[in-house]
Amino acid sequence: MKTFEQSRLLKSLPKQFFASLVQKVNKVRAEGHDVINLGQGNPDQPTPQHIVERLKLAAEHPDNHKYPPFRGKAELKQAAADFYLKEYGVHLDPEKEIAILFGGKAGLVELPQCLLDPGDIMLVPDPGYPDYWSGAALAKVHMEMMPLKEENDFLPSFNDIPKEIGDQAKMMILNYPNNPTGAVANEDFFRQTVEYASAREICVVHDFAYGGIGFDGKKPTSFLQLEGAKETGVEIYTFSKTYNMAGWRIAFAAGNASVIEAINLMQDHQYVSLFGAVQDAAAEALLGPQEAAAEISAMYEKRRDVFISSLQEIGWDVKSPKGSFFAWLKVPSGYSSLDFSDLLLDKARVAVAPGIGFGEHGEGYVRVGLLTSEERLKEAALRIKELEIF
C-alpha cells in the first residue's frame, strides 16, 4: 500500500513529549507491575450526577438531533455570562463576548491562528502547558519564553522581557492556577499584566483551566476581574476540571469582543458547534448546584495535604501547591528531571512527569498529579522512601 507523505506543517509540529511517558508506563504495566500513575492530568472522579442527568434528558430532545447554531446555543452563552457575574462580578455580553469551544485545548491552539501572522511574536510561560507550543507551530509564529522561577513565585517578570521583544509581541499566554507549578496569581499581578499588555497592544490569553480549584480558603482570581482586562484579552474557562467533564470536550472563551469574533469566524469554517445536549448539560453545570464543584476542590486539597506531608515525612523537601491539582516537586541533587522520573518508575513503580517536558525552566522538577486516592498517594510516598534517596 502506498504511503502518503505528511505535509510540512505536520512535520513542523512539536513532538508529543508525554506520549513517551505513556509508553513507558504501559510497558512497565505490561510486565505485570502495579504502577501508581501520578504523571497524568486526567480527573479520576465521575462528572456530578445532576449534569449527567441533564445530558440524558437533552439527548432525547429532537431539536438536539439537528445541527446546533454555528456559534453555539444562546442558552449556554447566557449561562456563561451569568456564571461570570455571579462568581467574579464580571459583566459579559453573551453574544459578543463569549465563544463556545471544543475544550480549552482547542481554543488555546486556535487563538494564535486567529490573531497572529507567520513570524509574529507570542510570549509563552516556561514551564508551561505543551499545547501552547502546538498553537504557535500551527500559526508559524515565534515563541519567546517567559521564565517562571521559584524565587518569583512562578510568575513571569515583565521587567525581564527585553524591550524589543515586548514591543513586538502580539500575544501573551498566562495560566493561573498554573500547570505545572500549582502557583496562583493575585490581583496585583494581573494589574501589572493589564498595564504591560495594554501599553504594547498585546492580546492576553489567560488559560483559567484550574479556576475552580483553589486551596486554603482562597478562590482563584479571574483575569477578567481586573479593570481593563476585558479590553486587553480573553480568558478560557473549561468544564474539564471544575466539573470533572474532561471527556465532554467543552469550554468557552470570554472577554474582548474582537477576539471572540475571530474565534467564532475560525470555528465557522471548521465546525458546526457542539452536540446540543452537551451544551445543555454544560449550562446545567454553570447554573445548577455548585456543591459538587466545591467538593471536588476540597478533595484535591485533602489529597495535597496528605501527599505533601507524606513526602516531607520521608525527608523530601517539597512545597505545597496553592491551586490546580498538580504538585511541582524539586528533584534531588545529582538527578535530571528525566533521570529521576525514570528511577521512580523503574524502581518504585511510581510515574511522574519530568519537568523538562514543560520547557527548559522545568528542568530540576517533576510534576505530580493528585489524581488518585489518598491511600495510593501515601503508598507512593512509602515506595519512594524505600529507595533511600532522602
Does residue 98 form part of some domain?
A: yes
Angle made by CA atoms 106, 169, 147, in degrees to the nearest 5: 80
- Mean pLDDT over 356-377 rounds to 96
Do 346 and 220 lie in one domain? The reply is no
Q: What is the pLDDT of residues 55-85, one digit of tens each?
A: 999 999 999 999 999 999 999 999 999 999 9
Do 158 and 259 lie in one domain? The reply is yes
Do 83 and 197 lie in one domain? The reply is yes
Q: How far is it, in rounded angstroms, from Cα 344 to Cα 282?
A: 39
pLDDT category at 245 given cuts 50, 70, 90 is very high
Q: Is the pLDDT of residue 319 over 90?
A: yes
- Mean pLDDT over 266-284 rounds to 95
Q: How far is it, in rounded angstroms, from Cα 263 to Cα 17?
A: 28
Does residue 3 form part of some domain?
A: no
The answer to whether the beta carbons of residues 289 and 264 sit under 8 Å apart is no
Do 210 and 236 lie in one domain? The reply is yes
Q: Is the pLDDT of residue 41 over 90?
A: no
- Mean pLDDT over 143-172 rounds to 97
- Mean pLDDT over 331-356 rounds to 95
Domains in the chain, number: 2
Do 267 and 371 lie in one domain? The reply is no
Domain that holds residue 63: 49-287
Q: Is the pLDDT of residue 367 over 90?
A: yes
Which pTM does this prediction carry?
0.96
Boundary residue ending a domain (254, 287, 320): 287
Boundary residue ending a domain (287, 305, 331): 287
**DSSP string of 156-220?**
--GGGS-HHHHHHEEEEEE-SS-TTT-----HHHHHHHHHHHHHHTPEEEEE-TTTT-B-TT-PP
Does residue 190 form part of some domain?
A: yes
Q: What is the pLDDT of residues 194-238, one digit of tens each?
A: 999 999 999 999 999 999 999 999 999 999 999 999 999 999 999
- Mean pLDDT over 266-271 rounds to 93
